[in-house]
């Protein structure tokens, strides 16, 4: 059981340092901050709810707090923006204690350093299940902002890093292989949002559209095509998968690419770019030491086609789930 | 059971209109908005959690959504600022259906009109209990912002409206007098944040400190005194109570002012002001037709004294709870 007043006091103690952009941080009715006057203010919010997004027995409070921030700043990165401030709304159940609170605070402090943000406010409440809701405020130059819309037929489609790792890590966990040192399991608990890369793609005006992959490649791909009345063609054999994914996927699916196509929570970037920017993308990939893989192209048809090694289209179902016929 | 994708589609349909300050609203990774370049950006977040802050059997989804926004914009008003945008993070349990969602949306739309805000983003997730977490973004001129700190010994203390109504309304409900038309019950479900009044007090530089009363007069009074190393003297007989409060309080307490002192959720403003501004306060009160009552003064002592009709100090306990000896 966490006492609200002592918790608030502890939080104010731990987060009292504020940068020059923070006129007023934690401890008043609202926080007051400054943004660059020629930039747009970006805002996004995301929740982690116990037994929906995580199980308390599998993740530490510190990891949980960090992950809640990571998935939210990821959205700002996918706009080409820079995250600046966070607000944390936390619902503690009576099963959490002061030690748990300390670990959550540590997770937020780690996040501040890792993601270059400052915690400026929040809210504590009771809840029968633990939840952490993070709002991120960031900024971006209006001319550099990368939206989900903006892709054109002929644009190439790229994915960063490797796909399906987080979903496969979760399957490994749920099947009792609770080896927390497993690479895939770690990818699930400790996602690395591609903040620097997203920013570079925006600064160099390379991405015509961009999104972070939170719900699986196919579903998130639809978010940059459907409303624009365009489609995409993806080549299965091009999808970037990790060695560890290749090693473990056979235990869970007959179809090597199933989770790379539809597994969520990788927080890799999916973006489109004119084909004449391939060279620039290679340079960024090399400079930041992040794999960036061309996986297909934008088409005029209002559909998503996934081609197998023989160039045959797989039949796809709604919501990112793929039906493999073979 | 609410389908997430169809819910998101419905929300995008209902909130597609955006003002010129919204470069990008609902439907991308993050919202992008403009603020006046010479103002500070204010942000605050607040949660309403089922069976903690509300019972679903007692409040309609529309009222709940409106109240969630009302209590959050109230914080911006208490800074002397103007609320501009909201983000709503909602956790729906499997007990909520599409009709419920429609009512929640209606509540948000009503709030947009009533409070002059725009819903620009949010998040839907599953949860075993319903929750609504609202983040408000607003703005204020740096030189006009009213903090919790700033009160000086000798300043007079004022409260707006009447106190204790919401808490008494809740008691009436919990005792089975479920008359939703009761004035006090309505004060609980339909709080009116004093946005215009908070703004006027800031514009005229009348308030030296200000807070909205969410946790009860005594507790919120401590928030403008304790950290400043000052105290306050409150006169019980001056506390503004409504006719309805006076009529019903006897059924629940032997002490007429108990809930006026420590009942929460009135969302009235508590502020301090130099004594030479009394006339200005009367003018604002008259212009806006809102009662503003002087209830005591700030003292040098680091304590809160509440004096009864005989000028005797009551003994107070922690956290706003009052122990009445007589």
Per residue in A136-152, pLDDT (tens digit) is 999 999 999 999 999 99
Among B141, B163, B168, residue whose Cα is nearest residue B82: B141
Among B84, B194, B212, residue whose Cα is nearest residue B138: B84
Task: Kindly state the average pLDDT of the residues B83-99.
Answer: 95
Q: Check CB contact under 8 Å for B47 and A76.
A: no
Does the interface predicted TM-score (ipTM) exceed 0.85?
A: yes
**Residue-wise pLDDT tens digits, A258-273:** 999 999 999 999 999 9
What class, spelled out in words, does domain A156-323 have in CATH?
A: alpha beta
When pLDDT is cut at 50, 70 and 90, the band that residue B317 belongs to is low
Mean model confidence pLDDT for chain B: 93
Among positive and negative, which fits the CA dihedral A53, A56, A59, A63? positive
Residue B326 pLDDT more than 70?
A: no
- High-pLDDT (> 70) share of chain A, %: 96
Q: Check CB contact under 8 Å for B123 and A37.
A: no
**Residue-wise pLDDT tens digits, A170-187:** 999 888 766 777 899 999
B83 contacts A73 by C-beta, under 8 angstroms: no
- Which of chain B's residues have a Cβ under 8 Å away from the Cβ of A24? 40, 145, 147
Q: Check CB contact under 8 Å for B123 and A23.
A: no
Report CA Rg, chain A: 21
Q: Check CB contact under 8 Å for A87 and B45.
A: yes
Q: What is the pLDDT of residue A19?
A: 87
Return the higher-pLDDT residue of B161 and A174: B161
Among A258, A322, A291, A259, residue whose Cα is nearest residue A158: A291
Best residue in B18, B134, B135 for a mutation probing chain A (most A CBs within 10 Å): B135
* The two structure tokens encoding residue B45: 């977040």
The DSSP secondary-structure symbol of A277 reads: G
Q: What is the pLDDT of residue A166?
A: 97
Q: What is the pLDDT of residue B315?
A: 79
Which residue spans within A213-267 are E strands per DSSP?
231-235
Best residue in B41, B121, B209 for a mutation probing chain A (most A CBs within 10 Å): B41
Q: What is the pLDDT of residue B319?
A: 46
Enumerate long-range contacts of A23-26, CB under 8 Å, 24 or more apart.
Answer: A23/B40, A23/B142, A23/B145, A24/B40, A24/B145, A24/B147, A25/A118, A25/A119, A25/A120, A25/A121, A26/A119, A26/A120, A26/A121, A26/A122
The whole-angstrom separation of Cα B79 and Cα B272 is 13
**Residue-wise pLDDT tens digits, A229-261:** 999 999 999 999 999 999 999 999 999 999 999
Q: What is the pLDDT of residue B74?
A: 98
Return the higher-pLDDT residue of A227 and A114: A114
**Residue-wise pLDDT tens digits, B179-221:** 777 899 999 999 999 999 999 999 999 999 999 999 999 999 9
Q: Check CB contact under 8 Å for A125 and B52.
A: yes
* C-alpha B8, offset from chain centre: 29
Residue A16 pLDDT more than 70?
A: yes
- Which of chain B's residues have a Cβ under 8 Å away from the Cβ of A79? 28-30, 32
Residue A155's CB: how many other CB atoms inside 10 A? 23
Q: Chain A: residue nearest B76 by CA?
A: A30
Q: What is the dihedral of CA B57, B61, B65, B67, to 10 degrees?
A: -40
Residue B53 pLDDT more than 70?
A: yes
Residue A17 pLDDT more than 90?
A: no
- Each domain of chain B, given as residue ranges in start order, spans 4-140, 156-323
CATH superfamily entry for domain A4-140: PurM-like, N-terminal domain (3.30.1330.10)
């Amino acid at each position: 059981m966490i006492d609200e007043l002592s918790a608030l006091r502890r939080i104010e103690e731990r987060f009292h340092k504020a940068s020059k952009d923070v006129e007023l941080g934690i401890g008043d009715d609202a926080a007051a901050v400054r943004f660059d006057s020629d930039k747009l203010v970006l805002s996004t919010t995301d929740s982690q709810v116990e037994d929906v997004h995580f199980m308390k027995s599998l993740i530490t409070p510190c990891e949980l707090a960090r992950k809640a921030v990571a998935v939210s700043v990821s959205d700002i990165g996918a706009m080409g923006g820079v995250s600046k401030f966070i607000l944390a709304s936390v619902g503690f159940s009576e099963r959490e204690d002061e030690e748990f609170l300390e670990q959550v605070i540590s997770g937020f402090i780690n996040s501040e350093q890792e993601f270059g943000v400052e915690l400026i406010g929040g809210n504590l409440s009771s809840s029968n299940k633990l939840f952490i809701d993070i709002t991120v405020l960031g900024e971006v130059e209006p001319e550099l902002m990368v939206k989900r819309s903006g892709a054109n037929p002929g644009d190439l489609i790229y994915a960063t890093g490797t796909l399906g790792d987080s979903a496969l890590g979760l399957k490994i966990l749920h099947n009792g292989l609770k080896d927390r040192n497993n690479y895939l399991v770690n990818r699930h608990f400790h996602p690395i949002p591609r903040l620097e890369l997203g920013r570079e793609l925006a600064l160099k005006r390379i991405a015509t559209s961009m999104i972070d992959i939170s719900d699986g490649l196919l579903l998130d791909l639809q978010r940059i095509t459907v409303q624009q009345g365009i489609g995409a063609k993806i080549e299965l054999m091009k999808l970037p998968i990790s060695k560890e994914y290749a090693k473990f996927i056979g235990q869970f699916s007959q179809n090597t690419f199933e989770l790379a196509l539809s597994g969520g929570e990788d927080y890799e970037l999916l973006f489109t770019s004119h084909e004449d920017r391939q060279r620039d993308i290679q340079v960024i990939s090399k400079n930041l030491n992040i794999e960036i893989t061309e996986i297909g192209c934008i088409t005029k048809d209002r559909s998503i086609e996934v081609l197998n090694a023989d160039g045959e289209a797989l039949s796809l179902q709604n919501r990112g789930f793929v039906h493999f016929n073979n």
